Every structure is written in structure tokens, then in C-alpha cells.
Amino acid sequence: MHVIGTAGHVDHGKSSLVQALTGTNPDRWLEEQVRGMTLDLGFAHLRFDDGLEAGIVDVPGHERFLHNMLAGAAGMEVLLLVVAADDGVMPQTAEHLQILRFLNVKRTIVALTKIDLLAPQDVDPARLRVREELQGTIAAGAPIVAVSAATGAHLPALKEALHDALVSLPARESDAPAYLPVDRVFALPGRGTIVTGTLMQGRITVGDTIAIAPPGTRARVRSLQVFGAAREAATGGTRVALNLPGVERTQIARGAVVADPSFTARCQFSVRFESLPEAQALLRRRTPVRAYIGSAEILGTLVFDATVRLLLREPVLAFPGVRFVVRRVSPKTLLGGGEIVAYTDERTEAPPSAHGAILEHLVRSGLEPQDVASVAFAANVREEIAQHGLDDLVERGEAVALAKPRGYLDAHAFAQFSTRIAGELTALHETEPWAMGTTSLALARALRVNEGLLVRLLNALVEDGRISQRHGYFAATGHQPKLSAEQRAFFEHHVPLESSDPFRPVAFDDVAANVKSATIEGLAKAFDTLLARGVLIKVGDALYRGAQIERAHERIEAFIAGHGRMTMAEFRDVLGTSRKYAVPLLEWFDARGITVRSGDYRMLRKRG
Ligand SMILES: Nc1nc2c(ncn2[C@@H]2O[C@H](COP(=O)(O)OP(=O)(O)OP(=O)(O)O)[C@@H](O)[C@H]2O)c(=O)[nH]1
Ligand SMILES: [Mg+2]
């Protein structure tokens, strides 16, 4: 059997179409029916005249409920993409398609619905437009059936298209071990806990012992239903309800997996990962993510080394070939998806309990770095065990180590903080493009955090390459200060280059006074930027342009190369300047390790 899944923009008519096709309203919650909007996954059963059957998973279109759509998306093999004829392809139509390209969809049928709202002659143009808008997606080239759930027009044609798609699918593997991501859990009086989900592969028979993870327990299947009817067994591709007595309703939730007991839950996987082109700029060597695997949403880190690894905060029961999707932690931008290739942890169970206690302590501490002693105390373990656990968590990308003094933070708190910092810096660069960035003190004030702590956090961000630090200023990575036209004109005027006297500087104090009295916006910061970047250089009381210093440097090197050494008088003559400027300038070169003094002479400092 196979599962059909709906997808499409909010209000485009997905649930209405499922009801029209099956007679079941997939909006099973009262709130959904009152609001006329799908909030959570809905389920229905499609029966064909020839006895063929399929399960339908209906998803919410509203972007706020995308996590629910994701919980149902992995089970879909036939996609019923619903596009309202009066609206066309909209943002969530596109987003759903992007998600599904990473998962298990093998056939797509497009329902161009609500055609009763269009004049008959407008239906074909609408179909052409949608065909064009779907170019480059997994729905490109899919059959487009124009229908109306309201009038029932062409529903038989849609049903036939779905039938064709279903029968053309390869059969699911039933020899494989059972794997069923749980999407619904409820309890029935006198029966106990019932879980439902799409059996992705394998076979489950009444009486089987199955593993449930989390919580990592086992249970016996007391009874089993398919489409509301009791069965002895179910095979891959079937929507199944399992009665699991002895398992508390509260022990198990959507996201859990019911599977063959030979499987164990793991935290670390090597993966094949494909990023969405527009998400590439958001990926770092270690990128905190929300991973969607089966019906679960789990926080973790995507690590790009020689291979790509997915390190999860909680163990998940998955195995090579299982597909996944990842989103950013916040905002929840879709990043990409892929397939699990192998396990990379030898751990067969959840991480040692100390890890959990350590991480919990870090999570509770938020942005307050914790030292080993306080972690050991909180987790009630010896310090060396705490240290070992912390090192492991850092390696797995779940904790971040800060220096001076050594301290540890929860990686997700740190990631959120780094998003805040990046936002603050970007806003700052927009309002003051001429500034190098900002100081830790100014940032601490803006963010209302303690400066000492902030500096440690900033240093960790710099080390990660998430922000940059130059000359005491913090800036977004890649920020290049740019002066305004007025600022540039000011410095052209006040620090002139005279061709008749190319090494003549201006008095630093004069320029500083003019900067102060001028009314040009941001001038003082622009001045700082020019000094920090060496466009202007202060030597003693004098202010030079960087280009002048560079040329002076060249002349010194050329002279000493020819003469072996150079006196102060020679230096003055070479530059055609006066002693007043020559002395501080040569001392400046001494201080930078370009020249070295020996008695009355300067030589070039030997390199290396
Ligand atoms: N005229 C007309 N209205 C329709 C048709 N199909 C659905 N509608 C109306 O469109 C609105 C949205 O329909 P739903 O089926 O709830 O849409 P949905 O895609 O399931 O919405 P979400 O699940 O919230 O994303 C409702 O008011 C329906 O009555 C149709 O074929 N013709
Ligand atoms: Mg709906």
C-alpha cells in the first residue's frame, strides 16, 4: 500500500479536496472546523472501485504549522499538490515543494482546484501559468487536473490520476525491519495507548515485540488496525494504528519511532546533505539546526568536515537511507536536506546520563558560562568526568567552550546570542557604514549584558569566524567601512597630498580640531576608521597618508640596499623633508621593526 500526501498554500482547498475524494473531513479538531483552517495533520482513506486503497495525509498550509506538515511529510510517496486556480503558486506551495524534494515523494499529481471560481475560458490559461510556476520543482511536468471540490467537477479524473500514480509505484520493502514514525498518540478507555503512523517499511504482526524510541522501551502489539478495521498484520506503505498496552500515554509522543527491536537510537550520523542554494550563506562549519527525521523534530548540529555529520541532542531511531530536512534554529529558515549514510557514534543507547545532566545544567544556565567545578557539582559527578563530558559535548557541537577563564555554554543559547549580535552589528553597519564596527562596551550597553561576559562571548564568536575583530572593533564578518562623499571630501581637503612636497605631513591636532568642529555626520568615527585601517597614520605630532609612509618605506629600502646603511641626514635628504619630521618618522620605522639602529646608522632589520 502507499500513502498520498497533500501539500499547498493555506486555504487553497487541500482539506476540502480530501473530503470530496474520501468523504472524510481530515480536519478532525473542533478548533480546525471552527476556524476553517488545518492546524495539524489529518488522515483519510481513499478506496478505488477496483479495490486499490491508499492512506491520505492532509497537511496544514499555514506557515505557522509547518512543523506539523514536516511531521507528516516523510511518509508521502504520492504528492497531491493542491493549487487554487484563482490564486496560483504561493509561498507555502513553493516551500512545501522544497521540503518534499528531500524526502520520499516518487509521483506528483497537481490538483488545480476551485475552478468553479473561474470563467470556463480562464481555466486553461490558469493551468498553463501553474505549469510554468512549477518549473524547477519536483512538480515540474506532473499531470495537472483541474477540479472543484465545491461542485465535484472532474473529481473522477483526479481520482484516476491518483490511481495511475499509485499502481506505477514500486512495492514497498516488506522484508526490511519494521520502521514506523509515530504521528499520533491517544488512549482509549479499557484499551490503553494507541499510536498511529505510516509503516515506512517492513511488517508488523499482532503479538510482535517492538521497540519504541524514545523512551527506549519495548512493547507487545496487542492489536492492529488499518483504516479502522482490525487486521492480523500490516506491511510497508500502510497507515497503521497499534494498540500498545503497558505503555503509558505520557511516555510516548509524536516523533517517537516504533520499530523492529534490532534497531537502536543514535545521536550521530554521517549524512549526504544538499543545501538549498539560497541557504548556502547561512551554513557554518558547525551549524545549529532543527532536524526533521521521520515525524520528529530534534535540535542538533550539522558539521561540515571531510564528511558532513548530523549530531543530535537526543537519540533518534534512524538508519542509512532515512531522509531528513533541516531548518535553522531561529529564524526557522529551510536550509536543506538529505539522507543518513552511516552511524558515527559507537554508542548504542542514549548518551551516558552524565551528559544529560551536564547539558541540562548548561541549558539552565543560559548565557552564564559554567566552569568545570560548577558543572561537576550540578551533575553530581567527579570533575574529571565532568571535564570529559564537557569535551565530548563541545566536540559534538552541543556546548561551546569559552577562554579566559575557561567556561562552558549551551550551544543553542550561544547560537541565539550570536544571531542577536549579528543582527545588532548588521543594523549598526547600515546606520554607520563608515565605522569600523563597535566596541564591546557599546555593544554591552545596547544588549544590556555585562561587558566582561560579553567580551568572552564575542571572542568565541570571532574564533568561530561568525564576526570579526579589528583594532578593538567588532564587526560583521566581511564588513568594509565606507566613507560618505562628504567625509571623503573633508579628508581630501584637510590631509592633502602636495606633489611639490610629497612627504609633507599635516599637524594631527589641526585635523582633529577640524573633525571636532565640522558638522559632517559621523566624521569622528570616519576619522577613527581611516586611522585604524592605516589610510591615515599618526607619527609623532604629524599626520601622514598611508601612501606617503609606503613610499618613504620604499625609499629607505632602496637606499640601504645600495649603500648598506643610512644616517638620519641621509634619510632626511632622501625624503626631501626636514629634521623635524625625519626624526620621528625614522623612529616610527624603528618601532615597526623595519629599520634597526646601530650607533648613528640605520640598517634594514633582517627578515625571518
Ligand atoms: N469555491 C470553492 N471553494 C473552495 C473549494 N475548495 C475549498 N474551498 C473553500 O476554500 C476554503 C479553504 O478550504 P480548505 O479545504 O480548508 O483549504 P486548505 O488548503 O485545507 O487550508 P489549510 O489546511 O488551512 O491550509 C474554504 O472556505 C473552502 O470552502 C472549491 O473547489 N471551490
Ligand atoms: Mg486544510
C-alpha cell at 441: 562596551
- Run of H or E including 272: strand 266-275
**Nearest CA to 341 among 295, 263, 273, 267?**
273
Q: Is 16 in the pocket of ligand 1 (CB under 6 A)?
A: yes
Q: Does 590 or 175 have the greater pLDDT score?
A: 590
Q: 425 and 476 in contact (C-beta within 8 Å)?
A: yes
Left, alpha or beta for 366 (phi > 0: left; psi -120 to 50: alpha)? left
Is residue 26 within 6 Å of ligand 1 at its C-beta? no
| Pocket flag, ligand 1, residue 90 (CB < 6 Å) | no
Q: 352 falls in which pLDDT band (50, 70, 90)?
A: low
148 lines ligand 1 (CB under 6 A): yes
Would you list the DSSP string of 304-350?
A: ESSSEEEEEEEEE---TT-EEEEEESSS--EEEEEEEEEE-----SS
Ligand 1 atom with the smallest distance to the CA of 37 is 24
Average pLDDT in the chain = 91
Instruction: Please give the average per-residue pLDDT across 286-306, as a whole number.
Output: 93
Which strands, in side-by-side order, build the sheet including 506-507? 506-507, 542-545, 536-539
Give Cα separations from 441 to 74, 418, 451 (angstroms). Answer: 48, 17, 6
Whether the per-residue pLDDT at 275 is higher than 70: the answer is yes
- 135 Cα–ligand 2 center, Å: 25
Helix (H) / strand (E) containing 177: none
| Strand partners of residue 166 | none
pLDDT in tens, 7-59: 999 999 999 999 999 999 998 887 787 778 899 999 999 999 999 999 999 99
Set of cell numbers at residue 521? 555626520
Nearest to 257 by CA among 299, 216, 213: 213
Is 149's C-beta closer than 6 angstroms to any atom of ligand 1?
yes
Following CA atoms 348, 354, 358, 363 in sequence, which dihedral angle do they give, to the nearest 10 degrees? 50
CB 76 within 8 A of CB 169: no
List beta partners, residue 468.
475
At 353 the pLDDT is: 63
CA 142 – ligand 1 centroid, Å = 22
- Rounded-to-integer distance, Cα 549 and Cα 536, Å: 9
Helix axes 383-395, 372-379, angle to 10 degrees: 100
Residues with CB under 5 A from ligand 2 (ion): 14-15, 38
Q: Whose CA is nearest to atom 10 of ligand 1?
A: 13
Tens of pLDDT, residues 435-490:
999 999 999 998 888 888 888 889 888 887 788 898 889 998 888 899 999 999 99
Closest ligand to 154 CA? 1
156 CA distance to ligand 2 middle (Å): 21
Is the CB of residue 93 below 6 angstroms from any atom belonging to ligand 1? no
pLDDT of residue 257: 97
Q: What is the pTM of this model?
A: 0.64
Q: Which residue has the cell 505520557?
A: 250
Mean pLDDT of 486-510: 89
Q: Which of 587, 494, 497 is nearest to 548 (CA)?
A: 497
As a whole number, mean pLDDT of residues 388-412 equals 88
**In contact, 349 and 265? CB cutoff 8 Å:** yes
Residue 189 vs residue 238, higher pLDDT? 238
Q: What is the pLDDT of residues 177-218, one digit of tens each?
A: 899 999 999 988 888 899 999 999 999 999 999 999 988 889
Percent of the chain with pLDDT over 90: 65
What is the CA(522)–ligand 2 centre distance, in A?
53
Q: Are 266 and 213 in contact (CB under 8 A)?
A: no
Cis previous bond, 214, omega within 30: yes
Across 161-165, 237-241, 352-356, least confident range:
352-356
Q: What is the pLDDT of residue 295?
A: 97
Q: Is the pLDDT of residue 608 over 50?
A: no
Ligand 1 pocket mutation pick from 6, 9, 10, 11 by most atoms within 8 angstroms of CB: 11
Show the cell assigned to 31: 478548533
Grade residue 517 by pLDDT with cuts at 50, 70 and 90: very high
Q: Do the beta carbons of residue 189 and residue 219 sit within 8 Å?
A: no
Question: What mean pLDDT comes out for the span 273-278?
Answer: 95
Each residue of 59-112: pLDDT tens digit? 999 999 999 999 999 999 999 999 999 999 999 999 999 999 999 999 999 999
Residue 243 Cβ < 6 Å to ligand 1:
no
Residues in the chain: 608
Minimum mean pLDDT among 76-80, 127-131, 531-535: which range?
531-535
pLDDT band at 607 (very low <50, low <70, confident <90, very high): low
> For the chain, what percent of residues have pLDDT higher than 70?
98
Task: Tell me what pLDDT residue 415 has.
Answer: 87
Greatest mean pLDDT among 97-101, 369-373, 493-497: 97-101
With a 6 A CB cut-off, is 152 part of the ligand 1 pocket? no
DSSP result, 434-499 = TS--B-HHHHHHHHT--HHHHHHHHHHHHHTTSEEEETTEEEETT------HHHHHHHHHHS---T
In the reported structure, the alpha carbon of residue 151 is separated from the centroid of ligand 2 by a whole-number distance in angstroms of 18
* Closest ligand, as measured to the CA of 116: 1
Ligand 1 atom with minimal separation from the 117 CA? 1
Specify the ligand 1 atom closest to the Cα of 61: 25
Average pLDDT over residues 222-234: 94
Query: Quick one: pLDDT at residue 135?
Result: 96
Q: How confident is the model at residue 348 (pLDDT cuts 50, 70, 90)?
A: very low
